[in-house]
């Protein structure tokens, strides 16, 4: 009887552990980190990033607004945003809805460097 209870507890723990390992909701390249938020481009390749990496986030946003490019910009609020730097490729797990604004906005429940 005790063995069955332990086995169930281990199985439930394993299932819960796997539930937290799901695929990221989105990925992108960090363009700017400010406090607990970061501006991420979700439609930008590393090669394209190399061409714009010396521009400010404001310049990049202006080009995006003018239609010169589409970068899929999103402002991510994340409590540990300071651990990331401009140019980092990140995987993001979103907590809740994505706000329809410019740039879009969301809160991340998890963010990791892309592997």
Other CB atoms within a 10 A radius of the CB of residue 84 amount to 19
Closest CA to 107 of 69, 71, 68, 80: 80
Higher model confidence: residue 106 or residue 114? 106
Q: Which residue has the higher pLDDT, 14 or 37?
A: 37
Please state the rounded mean pLDDT for residues 30-59. Answer: 95
What token pair was written down for 30? 């960090």
Flag whether the pTM goes above 0.85. no
Which pLDDT score is estimated for 11?
Answer: 35
Between 53 and 10, residue with greater pLDDT: 53
């Amino acid at each position: 009887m005790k063995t069955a209870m332990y086995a169930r507890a281990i199985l439930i723990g394993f299932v819960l552990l796997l539930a937290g390992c799901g695929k990221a909701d989105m990925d992108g390249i960090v363009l700017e980190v400010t406090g607990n938020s970061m501006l991420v481009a979700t439609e930008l390749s590393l090669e394209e990033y190399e061409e714009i990496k010396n521009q400010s986030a404001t310049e990049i946003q202006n080009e995006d607004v003018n239609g010169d490019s589409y970068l899929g910009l999103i402002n991510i609020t994340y409590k540990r945003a300071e651990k990331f730097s401009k140019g980092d490729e990140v995987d993001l797990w979103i907590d809740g809805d994505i706000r329809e604004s410019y740039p879009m906005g969301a809160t991340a429940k998890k963010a990791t460097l892309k592997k």
